[in-house]
Structure 1
């Protein structure tokens, strides 16, 4: 009877009074003494208030129910799709909303609603994945900045794929210690694309040269990154390069010259589809002819395979002697080898540039060390 009287009163009461009453009703429903009232009737009354023309009433209802684990789920879901300030109150705070509810809201809701979900104190992996799949830049930025958001490696990779061309997103991703290697490689390519698209640089050095510079910079970044990765991340990086068509002979010879043998071996495993144990055994002890057959089975030309076999032999010799041969020295030997053979692969220019670049780097490092000692 009390609830029926309340509904009759609501029809004539002022908005401010209705808001106070809505708050009192919701608190009574969720209180420890809530069993003393007719919960079904109270539920119907709150449902009736969802259609109140005044947002103050619905806001009061949202504030009273937002933090209550006893709040009725249908009421919370309805408030979550109300106007933004009301939705914010329940979406950011309510524990009644399960992952499935949040995923559904993210999929069919507005950008504002996704931003509210992304800012919750805890965002599970499935919910984070949903936002990363459909969210725009603002929502994903909120998600990345939220310390309570649990993002899987796959979700981080997806964000890099979708929004890695946005500088702010790229910076937030690169600040993360848990960013997987394949996602970092995607960001490297986005930076390269941004470099190639720079109008000023195109005017200064020309489009063709700028493309070569960008490609070289991307390859250098990839090789440097490969030297810092664990085995699992190297596999992810190689797979990303293979799928995108960037696992090229030029990149592989660059890796060899820099001693990135783990990366090189993983790449050969991916290209040949042989077991890792078999590939590493051949790289460590196989005869030159066996090495060439291995490389050719991965789709490499005979000329390129001979060059790679030469580089592997140099690496073996230095490893057994316990010395560390700089990239410039390996590249110089390969340049000499290329000059004695017909190179239709286009690697001659790549290796020669690599040798020159490494010699210049070595000279710069030597000069810096000399200056420090003199000081």
Structure 2
């Protein structure tokens, strides 16, 4: 324990190191004091005195002693906040005493290093985060986006998704956030698709028509997957916005069921038919084909599409379309064959889009199902696959070089 006379000697020393020790000891003594009020007042006065010390080292030692405590005196921390840059940055980043009102007015004039310090505070309110983002420093904005503990708010995230959608690093940080609004996520997925379509390595890997099909299928999957996640959220408005911009069509409805995103499918039907969601679920789970047709008719769908969707729903009741690629392939194959048989190979114009979608999916799902079958066979097979008789010893004749 330091005696009072020794403390006085340290605090009046010509050596800044010794005065710094006295300042740090004063800070610790103030924070841990449990004695009379007049002693607390004397310690407080000593802290105030060190604020006027001409040495940055002394004031820094004072700040270091008080920096992480929520019991530090506000007037002293505010004074240190306007001290030299090295002290102000530390106080701005670490002091829990400071509140939004202390910082919000300073943010407009802070330099980049100070903005970084604010962005690294343990707690940031959405208002303070928005003020930091408004400064327009992308490096600082990226830091905030990568902090999942900060609630940035739907409005700010949507604004950032719109303004920063062309920057790949920003897109990645935004898409990694679970609180990103559904509409903003879909917008970023579309930007990613455009970027992939224009990338030389992607364009060189696939023929143009196949690349277009792959990207379109991926976009449809993203659209329905986002809808599945948003399904049932009060006031989300995701499905309503899609319908308002004509993004929900026969292809999207088919894709929602084929990929197992039935919650999104039900939300689309409820919005199109202006029917309670619970009633739509009941019809999808237990309704007869006639009842399903009536529901689809209320959605404004044509007769051919109504019949196709009714068949798809009936097939989906008996299979696991969410996780089983083989089941998906079976259902899509069955629907395709039923359409060909019903219309004698001449598909009506109303169903051309749906038939083209089913044909695309048939190829994709056949590949997925085959990969799963071959993998399972390789794990279970205990003997080599037997070749047809006469082929085992057959030699391949290679042309001369």
TM-score (norm: length of structure 1): 0.68
Per the TM alignment, residue 366 of structure 1 is displaced from its structure 2 partner at its CA by 1.9
1:101 lines up with 2:111 in the alignment: no
Whole-Å Cα distance in 2 between the matches of residues 348 and 81 of structure 1?
70
Q: Which moved more, 1:108-117 or 1:163-172?
A: 163-172
1:34 to 31, 35, 40: 40
Structure 2 counterparts to residues 287-366 of structure 1, below 5 A: 287=290, 289-296=293-300, 302=302, 306-316=304-314, 319=317, 322-324=318-320, 326-335=327-336, 337=339, 339-343=346-350, 346-366=353-373
- Write the distance in 2 (CA, Å) between the matches of 1:20 and 1:81: 22
What secondary structure is seen at the aligned counterpart in 2 of 1:279?
A: helix
8 Å CA contact 1:185, 1:240 repeated in 2: no
Compare the two structures and name the one with the higher helix fraction: 1
Q: Tell me, what secondary structure is at the counterpart of 2:298?
A: helix
Give how far 1:342 is off: 1.2
Indicate if the aligned counterparts of 1:129 and 1:155 stay in contact, CA closer than 8 A.
no
1:37-78: CA deviation from partner (whole Å, max 9, x where unpaired): 684x974x56656xx6x6545534432432344544354345
Alpha-carbon contact 2:224-2:261 (below 8 Å) kept: yes
Rg: which structure is higher?
2
Instruction: Report if the CA contact (8 A) 2:30-2:40 is conserved.
Output: yes
- Aligned counterparts of 2:245 and 2:113: Cα–Cα separation in 1: 34
Alpha-carbon contact 1:227-1:260 (below 8 Å) kept:
yes
Q: Cα gap change, 1:347/1:237 in structure 2, threshold over 3 Å: closer, same or farther?
A: same
Alignment of 1:269-280 (within 5 A): 269-280=270-281
How far did 1:323 drift?
Answer: 4.6
> Whole-Å Cα distance in 2 between the matches of residues 234 and 331 of structure 1?
34
**How large is the RMSD of aligned CA atoms in angstroms?**
4.7
CA deviation profile, 1:180-206 (whole Å, cap 9, x unmatched): 683765554443233123133335657
Superposed counterparts of 1:1-375, under 5 Å: 32=33, 33-36=39-42, 39=45, 43=48, 55-56=56-57, 58-80=59-81, 84-106=85-107, 109-123=110-124, 127=128, 136-140=137-141, 142-143=143-144, 149-151=149-151, 154=154, 158=158, 161=161, 182=182, 185=186, 188-202=189-203, 205=206, 210-223=211-224, 231-232=232-233, 238=239, 246-283=247-284, 284-285=286-287, 287=290, 289-296=293-300, 302=302, 306-316=304-314, 319=317, 322-324=318-320, 326-335=327-336, 337=339, 339-343=346-350, 346-375=353-382
Q: Secondary structure at 2:350's aligned position in 1?
A: coil
